A and B are shown apart, each in its own frame.
Chain A
Amino acid sequence: MNNEELKISISAILPTAIYDETGEFLNVNIASEELYPLINELRSKNEFDFNYLFCLTCIDWKDHLMMVYHLLSKTHQHTIVLKAKISNRENPEIETVCNIWRTAELLEREVFDLFGVKFINHPDLRRLFLTDDWNGYPLRKDYVDENMITL
């Protein structure tokens, strides 16, 4: 499918999705609560068949967090970027996608480690790179620690 066809098909599932084509891929902006039903459809429906999650990350926009999912279909060779806005920055929560793509297990642990996003139903949500007794989440914009020298 090309971007226009993808937009029409996604809007049929989720009419509130907002599209943005300024980047390399088609960006689909949604709210965090809408993520799981949509992403499940994208994986299971044959017309989409997004069978490869090639990047999962997070952005701190200071007033909210945003989860970013890069999805690719190896059968149809189409790509989209799904951006889910998490409004609650103090206690950010989103549904895990581990049961759809196993690779998300480690990627989500990394996001949990560095941004502090809690993934609901994640099988093993622990810190990945940092030590278990680490305080705070270093990739948050407001992170401070005593070893850090700021310009």
Chain B
Amino acid sequence: MEINKSMEGPLTFPGQVHETADGGILVTKLDDVINWARSNSLWPLVFGTSCCAIEMMSAAGAKHDWSRFGFEVARASPRQADLIIVAGTIVMKMAPVLKRLYDQMPEPKYVIAMGACTISGGPFFYNTYSVVKGVDHVIPVDVFIPGCPPRPEALLHSMITLQEKIKHEQYFKKKIEDVR
């Protein structure tokens, strides 16, 4: 995937300014502007089910500080969240709750599957009656980040990867099936 140079870095606005006497004319694409805005302001939902959540909190804290990349404030309500980081084991009893939270989030919405448990069930893959073997059985996942748990740097990497993915979306060409 080739990265458009004009979109590199969160502070670079996509497009070219043509200087005129009164200021300038901006030439850009709506897709680029929308994606630029969306990818730099992703508010995660406060959602953590086990030890991965501790690493997620660490990534939000002062040392790693995900606000630097536009993740800003974690929202306690799914209605105000753009992103759900599934941090921790999802059990059969939790799965419908997670699905409901996901359904309550407004479009566009994104999912990061953090850690071994959410990817495949991880250490609970065999001989268990209660664990969902991969959160992608319940909701669609945009970025998987392995680890048990992943370090905050790894989580930040996955979040930046998600931003990169959003920057290559084509909003007006999106089909209904893609949105679902």
Chain A interface (Cβ within 8 Å of chain B)?
Answer: 129-131, 138, 143, 145, 147-151
Contact = CB atoms under 8 A, between A and B. Distances in A.
Contact count band on B: under 10
B130 A138 contact: yes
B172 interface: no
B149 to A, nearest CB: 22
Nearest to B92: A147
B93 A150 contact: no
A131 B93 contact: yes
Nearest to B129: A138
A148 B127 contact: yes
21 contacts: A129-B93, A130-B93, A131-B93, A138-B129, A138-B130, A143-B129, A145-B129, A147-B92, A147-B129, A147-B133, A148-B127, A148-B128, A148-B129, A149-B125, A149-B126, A149-B127, A149-B133, A150-B126, A150-B127, A151-B126, A151-B127
User: What 4 A-B pairs come out closest when comparing CB atoms?
Assistant: A138-B129, A151-B126, A145-B129, A149-B126
Interface string B42-73: 00000000000000000000000000000000
Given A131-B93, A150-B127, A151-B126, 13 more contacts: A130-B93, A138-B129, A138-B130, A145-B129, A147-B92, A147-B129, A148-B127, A148-B128, A148-B129, A149-B126, A149-B133, A150-B126, A151-B127
Contacts of B130: 138
Contacts of B129: 138, 143, 145, 147-148
Interface in B119-134: 125-130, 133
Interface string B78-108: 0000000000000011000000000000000
Nearest to A137: B129
Contacts of B125: 149
Nearest to A145: B129
Interface string B124-166: 0111111001000000000000000000000000000000000
Contacts of B126: 149-151
B136 to A, nearest CB: 16
A149 B134 CA distance: 13
A18 B141 CA distance: 57
Contacts of A131: 93
